Amino acid sequence: MTAPTEKQISALVDLRHALHRRPEVSGEEAETANRIAEELTALGADRIWRGLGGHGVAAEFKGAEDGPTVLLRCELDGLPIHEVSDIAYRSETDGKGHLCGHDGHMVSMLGVAMSLATRPARGRVVLLFQPAEETGAGAKAVIDDPRWSEIRPEFAFAYHNVPGRPLGEIGLRAGPGNCASRGMQILLEGKSSHAAAPDDGTSPGEAMAALMLGLPKLGTGKIGDNSFALSTLTHAKLGEPTFGIAPGMGELRVTLRCMTDDRMEALVSAAKALIAEHTNELAVGVFWHDIFFTVTNDTEATGVARRVAARQGLSQHEMDTPMRWSEDFGRFGTDGAKAAMLYIGAGVTHPQLHNPDYDFPDALIPVVTGLFSGIVEDILGIAPT
């Protein structure tokens, strides 16, 4: 496979800046998806799927002979965060920004598409530009799309940039790589009353106080242990901001986080039991949001990435513990692919993901393009020219 030229890399940088200016949040990525589809068409993809699981786009590059399918996945969506930056290409949409680097992830994969002008010897490569990763809904929606059966891969790879690690360093971890997480919304309904007669109502206040103290204590262990669990209170509301009404309504929001899906099921059960213990006199509703499974990196797929990184002389970091943050790429592994998420350094002093001043480092584009093109070549070979 032929690496993109300096001129092509420069064009990818310009495209990233254009995407950065016009971020679209989860479920709203129509303009971004159309731009990506246009680029893939111009790069000669053999087939393009649009509207996968919402606004997802996938492109097929076929090898000369039959063989396995290698999926390379990136994300389309930005975040509902106001960007604070002096860069010339900062977000033009107030309250929305590419502050996780998905703009850079997209153009990296378009760089691989440029390399695929030289097709693999066998099998096929599918580049997936997935919607709604930030909410945990996108991968599931893509897999649930009836057309997924036309794409389903034997291997799947993705990456995320990681501020705090040296620029271009390749982080690798077989086994759990990103934690499972889910948002728990607890609605408590009692009966309001006059503040002068609180005994005539039923306040959720006492139950909320007990849950605000008890739910965080469900956390156990340290990251890297199978027992690891974290229960983080993120929001609380009791009644209305008045002085004359004893409250009748309350709401709590909690994020549950574990290293494995089995541990998550146990944590969910413990949280439900604690809620039931303290809410006998209340009507209770528990609702789940932003559900992410564990990303479990396949040993063989991780080994391919390790071998290619070594061949290319890239610095490697064998990770002792998973990332605490979640990634919905894990669903492709549970769907049957040999899947591996790679963790590529964005710079030791680089602003953190989701910070208002974060910006993807353009220097990563040729590194990632070369690494993922090498992964394709390692598994599928190169067609003779």
- Residues counted in the chain: 385
Q: Which of 76, 161, 171 is nearest to 359 (CA)?
A: 161
Cross-strand pairs, 189: 249, 283
Place of tokens 């208002």: 356
- Tens digits of residue pLDDT in 103-115: 999 999 999 999 9
Neighbours of 80 (CB within 10 A): 13
Place of tokens 């106001």: 82
- Tens digits of residue pLDDT in 200-255: 999 999 999 999 999 999 999 999 998 999 999 999 999 999 999 999 999 999 99
Q: What is the band of 383 on the pLDDT scale with cuts at 50, 70, 90?
A: confident
Q: What is the band of 334 on the pLDDT scale with cuts at 50, 70, 90?
A: very high
Radius of gyration of the chain (CA): 23
Which residues 6+ apart lie within 8 Å of 232 measured at CB? 216, 254, 255, 257
Distances from the Cα of 375 to the Cα of 47, 67, 194, 310, 367, angstroms: 21, 15, 67, 12, 12
Q: Which of 134, 157, 290, 319 is nearest to 223 (CA)?
A: 319
The pLDDT, as a whole number, for residue 3 is 87
Q: Over 90: is that where the pLDDT of 46 sits?
A: yes
| Both structure tokens of 365 | 């584009």
For 132, left (φ over 0), alpha (ψ -120 to 50), or beta? left
The pLDDT, as a whole number, for residue 195 is 97
Which residues 6+ apart lie within 8 Å of 2 measured at CB? 115, 117, 118
Q: Which of 37, 35, 53, 33 is nearest to 45 (CA)?
A: 37
d(CA 283, CA 189): 5
Q: Which of 96, 120, 151 is nearest to 2 (CA)?
A: 120
Q: Which of 160, 181, 167, 63 is nearest to 102 (CA)?
A: 160
Q: What is the band of 119 on the pLDDT scale with cuts at 50, 70, 90?
A: very high
Neighbours of 117 (CB within 10 A): 12
d(CA 79, CA 357): 13
Mean pLDDT of the chain: 97
d(CA 93, CA 122): 43
Q: How much is the pTM?
A: 0.95
- Tens digits of residue pLDDT in 153-195: 999 999 999 999 999 999 999 999 999 999 999 999 999 999 9
The pLDDT, as a whole number, for residue 385 is 66
Domains of the chain: 6-178+294-380 (3.40.630.10), 180-292 (3.30.70.360)
d(CA 122, CA 191): 67
Q: Are 375 and 153 in contact (CB under 8 A)?
A: no
d(CA 303, CA 308): 9
d(CA 98, CA 78): 5
In three-state secondary structure terms, 221 is coil
Q: Over 80: is that where the pLDDT of 1 sits?
A: no
Q: Are 339 and 155 in contact (CB under 8 A)?
A: yes
Amino acid at 235: H
| Both structure tokens of 8 | 């092509």
The pLDDT, as a whole number, for residue 2 is 83
Q: Tell me which DSSP letter residue 159 carries.
A: E
Cross-strand pairs, 238: 250
Q: Over 70: is that where the pLDDT of 197 sits?
A: yes
